[in-house]
Structures are given as structure tokens and as C-alpha cells.
Structure 1
């Protein structure tokens, strides 16, 4: 163990090692781009098949029994994938966060197989789920597998998992910058330069692969006529407030639905429920089936009146939460973006006549709705702004996007709402289930980085006042391109970068401590 610790420190301090990791990050990005693109193509084929089946049933060329048999086959695959590998369930982002914190241990190749098959059948079968969460988990497992096969150390493995996760989002939506920022803002919650460079290399490589396969067109082909006038920004603020409240409602409802699912004793019944709803909705309201990607363009084109949008919002809201709550493989990004687009369109049409502009800025508010709702639910406003900009191909609305994202974020935070992925991770860990992180895994030594923020509690204080857990050491202090060998009497300054050595099992406690004393301003 001491030998591995020494090697880990030497590699960390070796500048050439950084270039090796960048090269490995590019390799992870290329492999993730290929896997995620294959996953995306499989989903498109599955959704096309679902549409063809619905059309064939409606014109009588296919019997209802045959279509139900196909749906049952999709249900069986999704259920078996979840039964074989429970950690493939849901979006997969909480599992990635849990492993980065040392609280979970996933079998990389089993997760890839189960997530791919289960996700294609669940989303293709009509459940209101998205491809982004699975893509992020698939990418993280590619990074982990690459690291294991390369014989990397645990610290390097976590970096490559982060690279793969960012590359997964980049490949899923052709959004490389969003992939980078998501890894920093949501997974690490720390803007580390090393993580930034490595994840950017992986995300750009993944986006190149995805763009080569699917083309350079943005995911949402929306045409924005012009910038929103400054005298309409009061409406942006009003929309941000509404999205913040509705984001808290979404997260609260998600928790309650999961509580209700928890009372169903058998997994096959929990998975069966949303598939039964698919039958009902296919007969009476097929527009809400699947992720709903196509709905965004239709809303922006004015294809819905106010009452139709209100009905769509209610049905899509509950169907999305019921689909996700069942635990089958599938994400919430796309469904929540669709819900945000519906809310933005509903707001624009409802307030349009009163404001005197009718439908002139409908597309603008559809885009704003997606960014604001994402910010309120995920609580990652920078990722939301960049993601929607890249997905829509619109660079005219940075200012209103920033305003609506910030307003929605602050509103949700003031209401005490918990970020959705933190909420989901806490629920998973609260069950007390053994997620594979045994004593040997928890004892592995890993390196952590943390900036000392100007104005934080440790700005101007000695290292000995950090009161870190037993066995956790500050092994390096980097200040203005110079390295200081630290001791207990070393005084830290704002802008310093710390390198700490601790056991993997202590990572959550150490990270919480660092958040409190180094990454938060003194009150």
C-alpha cells in the first residue's frame, strides 16, 4: 500500500504524466463517442419501430396482440437488465457520483451491457426517459474499463471516469462544452484545472466522433428570429421564478413517487407499471410517449394552443416521473427539457396577449424554459445555459438564458429544494444496501485536490486548524506555480491549491470538510 501511495504521488507530480493522461482521456473520449453513438442509433431505431407499430395498429395492418407481444419483450429485457445489475437502473448519474465519492463500486462491463440493453428497450418501448443519463454512466464505465485494462492507479481511474462521463454527455447531445462544465459543476463541484483539461480532451474527441456520425446540426433545430428586447426582461424574471417553484415541485414529486414505488414488494411489478401506462397512452395520447424530443420543435412552431399545452404538461409531467420512479435504465434530462419547453411555451402564449407581442418571441421562451427548468431541478445553472445553447444552436440569448437560469436556481434554493442527483444519491445510500464498496476498496489511497477560496475559513490559517479526519494528510500546497512542502504550521492563502491523501472510504467526509472550510466564504 505504501509503495502504491509513493507511486501515486510521484505520478501526480510528474508533468509528463499529465500529457499521458490527456492522451488517455482522448482515447476514452473516442471509445465513449463510439459507444454512445451506437446507443443513440439503437434508440432511434427502437423509437422508429414504435412509431411504425402504432401506425400499423391504427390502420389494421398489425394486430394489437402482436404489438403487445413486442412491448412485453421490451419489458422483459428492461426487467432482466435491472435484476441482473441493479446499479444500471435510473439515470446512472447518482451511481457515477457515488463511485467518485468512494461509496459505490460498479462492474464496468456488466453495467455497459445492462445499461445499453435495458435503456434501449425502456426508452424504445415508450417510457418517458432520456438518453443522456445512460450515456453519462456508459462513458464513465468506459473510462473505468480503460483505466483497469491500462493498470492505472485509483486516482487516475477517477479522473478517467470523469472524462468518460463528460464525453458521454458530449456525445449524447453534441455538446462538448456542456460535457466539460457538467463534469466540473455537477460531478466534482470544483473547477479543477486538471479535471478541466482532461475532460475537455475527452469531450471534444467524443463530440468529433458523434458529429461525424450524426452530422453538425444541433439536437434542437430551432430558429430564433432575434434577441429578446430589454423591456421584456421582466418576463424573463417572472418565468425564472415560476420555473424555480415548479422545479422544486418536480423534485418533491419524484421523491414521493419513489416512496410509493418502495411499497411495491416485487421489482417486476414496479417495472411493469409504466409499461402498462404505455398501452393506455398509446391508445389515447401517444404524443407523450418516449423522451418527447420532437415536441420541442412543435411547441416552438406554435403547433399547440394554451389548453393543449396545459394538458400536455400535466400528462408528460406525471408520466415522466412514473417512468423514472420505476427504476428502469433511463435518464431525466430530455424529459425535463421537454417539460421546460412546454412551460416556456405556455408562459409565452399566456402572457403574450397581455404583453402585446403575441407569438413573436415564442421560440425564445421555449429555449429559456428549458434552461431555467434544468437549472431549478439539477441545480447546475452554468451547465444549463451552455447545454441549451449548444443543443439549440442559438447564440443570441446568452443574457436572458443567464438571467432565467440564475433566477430559477436562486428561487429553488430559497425554497429549500435539494438538487435532483444529490437527492437520488442520498436515497440510494439511505437504503443501507451494499453497493460493492468493500473494506479493501474503501482502504485504497486516493489523491484529492481542493482550491482555497479567497475569504474562506482557511484563508490565512495554519494547516493544523483544518482538523482533518485521522489518516488524511495535506501532501502538497501549490502557490503561484510553486510547490510548498506543507507542515502543520504552514499558513494557507486564498488561491492556493491543496493536494490531499486519504482512504477512498473517507472521501465523502473529507470532501464535506473541504467544502465547509476551503470552498465556502466565511459567514
Structure 2
């Protein structure tokens, strides 16, 4: 009897065949469900990239057409002694006035580049109202850039890309973590579409926004796919050439790396001063409480319009300035003077708070300073072995200033290479960007977008408490 009872107990506790099968199937079912979620996330990321590429292309074309229309009207009155300066002044004043009004009344978070706002959302510190951000950033950025303001297109495309990520995630009822990944993917796609630079878009998210969402392989796959899809869309409509079409340089002699390192130190100092001046300018504009926001837009726009008549190379996002610097053999002192003028205007335009980015103006600043300083050293000291090609130093300088201000050296290096198609300058770029980043850090400077995010959070808290 004892034997039978033991046997019965063994039979009762042993798992039945159906239970064995279900226990084996459960992990497999979970794996399949997770795999489906990953595939869905990638499909959504691809959609985000396609939409961001489309919006980015439309934005670039619209800005270009608006600038051409403005220049056409100016050409009609160029022979009139009064209208030749009055028309550009009034046109720019009206456009900046409208951009300012849209931003202040409908979506204040669209002011500036919008990158700190995206980072704030990823860190669960700020909301992202994509329904308002998308139209206001598009129209506000279009008017601001079309007026000749010294601002870049990458800020609007990054914030619009992030908003598209939020829109897609909300439409498909994604989880909170998935929406964050799609927003980050949209931001990377926005940078990629602005500069035709997919690798830079991927690295930008990795360096600048990585602390704001979980480091997972699926996250980076989504970011990479969105950047690639956005770039494909841009290249379908705008062509496959480099964004900045300049000479392709040979690899410089190794001894010249010392010259590139010295340039990096100089641009690290300039990057530190740039951030400091920008924060002071933002403070100054925010303290102008006696002036209406719209009046601010009027006088800023009028000033830019008048300067566009006085000396066209000093206005605009920077593309034309870069082309002008490379095409014209201007003396070093002329380029350095242009650098100082555009430096002040960059503070003025970005500090007032209208929608627009800061990458493109920094690229123009770096080009004019690097080329001008190198030419002056050539003329005074004749060190051809250290400074073999001023134009090559201008390319390296583009990445160095971005690296010093944003504190994202890898993004700066890859962005410069993709924009100029100068892959043989990778070693000089590494030297210049790393030395500029180290110099800016040694001086006590902070990454520009981190400081701007802190400022936004403080302002939001003050508005809520008042």
C-alpha cells in the first residue's frame, strides 16, 4: 500500500504533457511578441524618417523660394535712391514681425532652435505639443530665415522631426518609451535632412540626446533607420551632391597637424566666448520688458533688412557666406572683419528668440575666421609647412567651432565631412575638434544646449509660479 501511495503521489505531482508544452511555449510567445514590437518600432521609425525628410525638403525649398522672391522685389527697385534700401528694410521687418507674433502667441516653445525643448521632452521635463509646434515652427522658421536673419535651418528641422516622431507615436498609441525613441529618431532625421548628412544625424542623437532615453540596440536601429530614410527623401528631390560644394582636398602633411591643433585651441576659446556672449544676449532681450515682443520683432527685422542692402554677405544662414569665402580670394583682414560682423549679428538674431538654428551660422563663422587667420599667418610669418592650405583649415574649423560650443566632437567631425565631401581631412578634423573641445572644457564652458535647457526650465517654473 505504501508503494502504491508513493507511486500515486509521484504521478500527481509530475507535470502533465499539456503543462510541459505550455511552459515551453510561453517564453517563445513572449519572444515573438517582443520581436513584433521591435519590427513595429522600426516601421514607425521609417515612417518618421520619410515624413521628416519630406517636411525638411519642403522647408528648404520654401525658404529658398522666399529668399529668391525677396531678392526679386529688391532688384526691381535697385535704381531708386530711397526704395533700394527701404524695400529690403520693410520686407524683413514685416517677415520677422510675423514670425515673432506666431511664435509668441501660439507656441512660445518654438523660439530659438528647439533642440533644448526636444531634450526636455526626452527627459520628461517639458511637454511636446506637436499639433502647434509643427505649423508654427515651419511658418515661423520660414519667415525668419526668408527675411535674411543670421539663423540656420537645422533647428527648425530638428524640432519638427521630433514633433513628427511624437505625432506618429501618438497616432499608433505607442508606449511612453517608444514615443521617446521616435522623438529622438525624428530629431536625428531632422539634422540629417537639413544637411544631407545621415551619419551626423545618428551621432547627434548618440552624443547630444543619449542621456535622455534608454541605450538599447532597438533604439539606435530606429534612429539610424529614420536618418537614412530622411536622407533618401531629401536626395530624391534635392540631389545627391554634398551640401557645401567646395574643393576636395588631399590629406595634408603630418607636420601640419600642429597647425590644426593651434587652430583648434583658438576655436575652443572662440566657442567658449560664443556661448558666453549668447547667454548674455538672451538675458538682455529677456529683460526688455518695457518693449512689446512685436516691436522687438520689428526693429530686429528692420535692422537685418537694412544690413542686407548695405553689405549682403553678412546676413543669411551662412551658406552664401561660405561659398563667397571659398570662391573669392579675399584678404585675411576682410575675412576676419566679416567674422566679427557676423558674430555680432548671430548674437542679435538668435538672442531675440525667433525660430531658427545656430549650427549653420557657426559653420560660416568658423570658415571666415579659420581662412582669414590662416591667410594672415601666411602673410606675416610664412609657415607653409604648418599651414599648407588655408581652405583646408577652413573645413577643419567648421567642425571645431561646433564641437567647442555643442560639446559633440564626433557629430561635428562627421557633419563636416558629409557636408563638404572631404573624407581625406578626417585626421586634421579629429585633431582640431578634439583640441577645441578640450580647450572649451578647460575654460569652464558648458554645452550650449544643456545651458539653454536649464534656462527654459527656469523660465517655465517662473511662469507657473507667477
Task: Please say if 1:75 is aligned against 2:96.
Answer: yes
1:173 to 172, 195, 209: 195
Displacement of 1:73 in angstroms is 3.0
Distance 2:383 2:448 in 1: 37
Gapped regions of structure 1 (runs ≥ 5): 1-9, 437-523
Task: Please say if 1:201 is aligned against 2:222.
Answer: no
Task: Please say if 1:59 is aligned against 2:83.
Answer: no
Higher relative contact order (CA 8 A, sep 6+): 2
Instruction: Report the counterpart of residue 458 of structure 1 in structure 2.
Output: none
Assess, with a 3 A threshold, how the Cα gap between structure 1 residues 68 and 346 changes in structure 2: closer, same or farther: closer
- Per-residue CA deviation, residues 305-357 of structure 1 (Å, 9 max, x unaligned), is 11211210111001011100111000001001110111110222122242443
1:21 to 32, 36, 41: 41
Paired residue secondary structure (1:281) = helix
| 8 Å CA contact retained: 2:113, 2:156 | yes
1:86 to 87, 99, 108: 108
In the superposition, the TM-score normalised over structure 2's length comes to 0.87
Paired residue secondary structure (2:77) = helix
Instruction: Report the counterpart of residue 144 of structure 2 in structure 1.
Output: 122
Assess, with a 3 A threshold, how the Cα gap between structure 1 residues 181 and 151 changes in structure 2: closer, same or farther: same
| 8 Å CA contact retained: 2:333, 2:376 | no
In the superposition, the TM-score normalised over structure 1's length comes to 0.78
- Per-residue CA deviation, residues 453-502 of structure 1 (Å, 9 max, x unaligned), is xxxxxxxxxxxxxxxxxxxxxxxxxxxxxxxxxxxxxxxxxxxxxxxxxx
Displacement of 1:11 in angstroms is 9.6
Assess, with a 3 A threshold, how the Cα gap between structure 1 residues 59 and 148 changes in structure 2: closer, same or farther: same
| 8 Å CA contact retained: 1:222, 1:363 | no
Task: Please say if 1:233 is aligned against 2:257.
Answer: yes
Distance 2:69 2:350 in 1: 22
Distance 2:369 2:88 in 1: 33
Q: How many residues are aligned here?
A: 427
Instruction: Report the counterpart of residue 36 of structure 1 in structure 2.
Output: 56
Distance 1:260 1:296 in 2: 29
Assess, with a 3 A threshold, how the Cα gap between structure 1 residues 69 and 240 changes in structure 2: closer, same or farther: closer
Instruction: Report the counterpart of residue 488 of structure 1 in structure 2.
Output: none
The higher radius of gyration belongs to: 2
Displacement of 1:68 in angstroms is 4.5
Paired residue secondary structure (2:62) = helix
Distance 2:419 2:82 in 1: 36
Displacement of 1:303 in angstroms is 2.9
- Per-residue CA deviation, residues 143-201 of structure 1 (Å, 9 max, x unaligned), is 10011111111111111001111111111111000000001110124864332211110
Matched ranges for 1:235-314 at <5 A: 235-265=259-289, 266-314=292-340
Instruction: Report the counterpart of residue 413 of structure 1 in structure 2.
Output: 441
Distance 2:125 2:393 in 1: 40
Instruction: Report the counterpart of residue 350 of structure 2 in structure 1.
Output: 324
Gapped regions of structure 2 (runs ≥ 5): 1-29
Instruction: Report the counterpart of residue 391 of structure 2 in structure 1.
Output: 363
Matched ranges for 1:133-144 at <5 A: 133-144=155-166
- Per-residue CA deviation, residues 358-378 of structure 1 (Å, 9 max, x unaligned), is 985122111011010000011
Structure with more of its chain in strand, by fraction = 1
Distance 1:292 1:222 in 2: 14
Q: CA RMSD in A?
A: 2.1
Structure with more of its chain in helix, by fraction = 2
| 8 Å CA contact retained: 1:103, 1:435 | no
